[in-house]
Structure 1
Amino acid sequence: MSQRILAAVMVAPRQPIEIREFSAPDLPAGSALLRTERSEVCGTDVHLWHGRLSGVPYPIIPGHVSAGTLQAVRGPLTGLDGSTLREGDRVAFFDVHRTCGRCRACTVHRTPTRCVARRVYGITDSANEGLFGGWSQAIYLEPGVGLARLPDTVGFDDYIGGGCGLLTAVHILERAALRPGDSVLVQGTGAVGLSAIALARRGGASTIIAIGAPRDRLDMARRMGADHVFDVTTTSAEQRLASVQHLTHGEGVDVVLEAAGAAAAISEGLDLARVGGRYVIAGHYTDVGDSAINAHRQINRKHLEIRGCWGSEAGHFLRALTFLERYSEQVPWREIGGRTYPLDGLNDALADAESMRITKALVDPWATA
């Protein structure tokens, strides 16, 4: 790899992406340099571009989920599964790093996704500090970053097609405590919702219902495992409630999984869950405003269980790889990535993702326009 490395930099919200040149970093013991083969443009990147996440140290190199080939390794390097990693290995890495393991969130509450020291590649690491994002020809993997070898049957497009949406979906299904035979409704048919559908199907769900838009995403929802789909733009909440009750003997579903990120989805999700049901809210990664609810009618009287779901942990990362190894030939994760863009095409990629012309974009840092 050349000592000069190209990267696409988000200098500030709503500003054009710039291609900048970086020097290859010095590698301390326990670190590595990854030749980036694929990264992604996901909904989080659109939020970053809109300036809707707090504490982002612009300029940044986005791309928080990436995969590639170990170009250089300094000292012994061990994967999260205990295997030894070497130069030339195809690997993915867990984007969350520097979680302290000592603070109250980590030790007492066991919620490492809320660790105060937690940093995330492509989101909370400044480009001024180096190659900490996947929109780059190389990524600096600092000591302590969680790594795993990609299974031989899992291509780069498979992994990035699932991407952060798959990792989040693994966490969502864990929070939902899905039981065999449960009926499931997924709000939102973006990357997170689509993977949640696939995992619910393989986790033993009976009936799976999806609410979302546009039409091509609803078609993909069926391919991922949904039995029934409703277009949120052409049906009313009242119509959807009547249809769901008809499909569930008048009760509502056992589990509702929110991956829409819309304020109005919350009240509707509460209505769609059965008495004694479970509701997992995962799509509100940014503040989209207040949701109007009736605590007596929609929660208390229904004896409803509500759980939030924020980010993912290393265990979810490893389980996502296991799902990909087992099901990548059956589940069209790679097709969630609607198109592959070079570094100098990422302004177009953001525009396409923002307008929902694609569910997500794949990024090939070595491709030319």
Structure 2
Amino acid sequence: MINAVVMPNPGAPLETRAFDRPALEPGAILLRTLGSEVCGTDGHLWKGQLAGVPYPIIPGHVSVGEIAAFGPGEPPRDVDGAPLRVGQTVTFLDVYGTCGRCWYCTVGKASTRCPYRKVYGVTMSADDGLYGGWAEYIHLRPGVHVVPLPDGFAWRAFLAGGCGMPTALHAVSLGEIAFGDTVLVQGAGPVGLCAAVLAQLRGAGQVIVVGGPDVRLAAARRFGADLVLDIATLAESERLQAVREVTGGRGADVTIEATGVPSAVPEGMRLTRDAGRYVVVGQYTDAGTATFNPHLDLNKKHLDVRGCWGSDAGHVYRSVRVMARYAAQFPWTELISREYGLDEAQRALADVAAQRVVKALIVPARDGTAPAPSAA
């Protein structure tokens, strides 16, 4: 049998359940879970803030594992087209079932809006199988996009970025950061911290992080932010004044919102210079409304506002490459505050919600050796 954490319904206590070993179809993979992140999305799922979730679910949408078995027939291939091997350490795009045929996939070139897409750990039910990372094993269905981790690149290093890195990579790409730009990041969680790092790699001349609490702001400083503004000690007007003081009175060239707090959006518009770019990536779930002045905050400013929702296989692939390439410059694993076993998942969820940690991981086998799944 295989143990997994199940979220029965919003607000209900997490449970550990035993699952049968899945019958692998041709092209499928059984992945022994090494680790899975605890994402802010998991907190939103527990609060019932995301539509279309088929509870009960096994949370955990960004994971790393070791290939344990394949379904019958030829082994599936990775995103580079190379055959996968048993024992290989890989991650995968959590999105499954994107059709490649609808208007959004073919004409709009926006696969994150495909109406057929499903997401491991989010919109795939535990009643249907092991489709989330908070489990000893994960059933990867045929067609899942698999990305091997390069030799010498530790799986914990990748999960230190977790969902935050491909999400931030998408946002930073949309921000079109130019050499010398002042980049302001709202939010010091995993997405915001990854955006601050990527802004540096894109050639930003100055990186400002606005957020909290102290444990996350300290991480922002360690990872290269030039200026850190604590929302707990500075009022909105003081934050605006501080940003203008270091930008010649103009504001940031590019601002990336990664807070998930609706009121951050109008503030971010005001923190951005006239004719600047503002990328909103943190509003993944419906946390409520915000009010702005369309004349003063948008039109008169000639502001370019871009929404960014989700990520695709290219973002995951590039995230792995970037994190592996710059592992010497950025000690990724320092972002991991704590690891939790399956029986500690409720505490992990609470710690992330309370922002007591920067990055939390679920590690099913704390000693690194999950038992082989029984055939029962």
* Residue matched to 2:241: 242
CA distance in structure 2 between the partners assigned to 1:332 and 1:308 by the alignment: 30
Q: Residue 102 of structure 1 corresponds to which residue in structure 2?
A: 101
* Structure 1: distance between partners of 2:100 and 2:224: 37
Question: If the length of structure 1 is used for normalisation, what is the TM-score?
Answer: 0.97
Cα deviations across residues 269-328 of structure 1 (Å, max 9, x unaligned)? 111111110000000011122111111111111111000000101100000001111112
Equivalent residues of 2:215, 2:356 under 8 A apart: no
What's the secondary structure of 2:245's corresponding residue? helix
Residue in 1 aligned with 2:373? none
Identity %: 49
**Post-superposition CA distance 1:69-113 (Å, at most 9, x none):** 000023221100122211111111110010001111111211110
**C-alpha separation in 2, matches of 1:133 and 1:208:** 35
Q: Residue in 2 aligned with 1:284? A: 283
**Partners in 2 of 1:289 and 1:47 — Cα distance?**
13
Aligned equivalent of 2:56, options 55, 59, 77: 59
Matching of residue 37 in structure 1 with residue 29 in structure 2: no
Q: Which consecutive residues of structure 2, in runs of 5 or more, have no partner in the other structure?
A: 368-376
Residue identity in the other structure for 1:100: C
Amino acid at match of 2:87: G
AA aligned to 2:36 is S
Q: CA deviation at 1:181?
A: 1.1
Instruction: Give the equivalent residue in structure 1 for 2:229.
Output: 230
Q: Contact between 1:66 and 1:92, CA under 8 Å: does it hold in 2?
A: yes
Query: Whole-Å Cα distance in 1 between the matches of residues 81 and 153 of structure 2?
Result: 19
Contact 1:259/1:282 (<8 A) preserved: yes
d(CA) in 2 for partners of 1:184 and 1:99?
A: 33
Comparing 181-190 with 286-295, greater Cα deviation is found at 286-295
Letter in 2 for 1:209: I
* Long gaps (5+) in structure 1: none
**1:178 is matched by which residue type in structure 2?**
I
Q: CA RMSD in A?
A: 1.0
Paired with 1:318 and 1:228, the residues of 2 have a C-alpha distance of 30
Counterpart-to-counterpart distance in 2, 1:44 and 1:115? 20
> What secondary structure is seen at the aligned counterpart in 2 of 1:166?
helix
Partner SS for 1:263: coil
| Equivalences, count | 365
Q: Distance in 2 between matches of 1:71 and 1:20?
A: 21
Q: Any idea what SS the aligned residue of 1:157 has?
A: helix
Deviation sequence 1:233-292 (CA, Å, 0-9, x none): 110111111111110111111000000111111111111111110000000011122111
Structure 1 residue 338: deviation in Å? 1.1
Distance in 2 (alpha carbons) for counterparts of 1:290 and 1:362: 31
Tell me the equivalent position of 2:185: 186
The letter for the 2-side match of 1:143 is P
Deviations 1:107-127 (A, max 9, x none): 121111010000000000000
- Secondary structure of the corresponding residue to residue 7 of structure 1: strand
Aligned to 1:334: 333
Structure 1 residue aligned with 2:371: none
Match among 22, 25, 28 for residue 25 of structure 2? 28
- TM-score w.r.t. the length of structure 2 is 0.95
| Equivalent residues of 1:172, 1:280 under 8 A apart | yes
TM-fit CA distance, 1:223:
1.5
Instruction: Say which SS state the counterpart of residue 139 (structure 2) adopts.
Output: strand
CA distance in 2, matches of 1:15, 1:245: 46
Q: Secondary structure at the match of 2:10?
A: coil
Aligned 8 A contact 1:43 1:360 in 2: no
Amino acid at match of 1:311: G
Q: How does 1:62-81 map to 2 (within 5 A)?
A: 62-74=59-71, 75-81=74-80
Please give the per-residue CA displacement for 1:27-70, whole angstroms capped at 9, x wherever unaligned.
11111100000101110011111111111111100000001100
Give 1:154 shift. Answer: 1.6
Q: Is the 1:183–1:254 Cα contact (8 Å) retained in structure 2?
A: yes
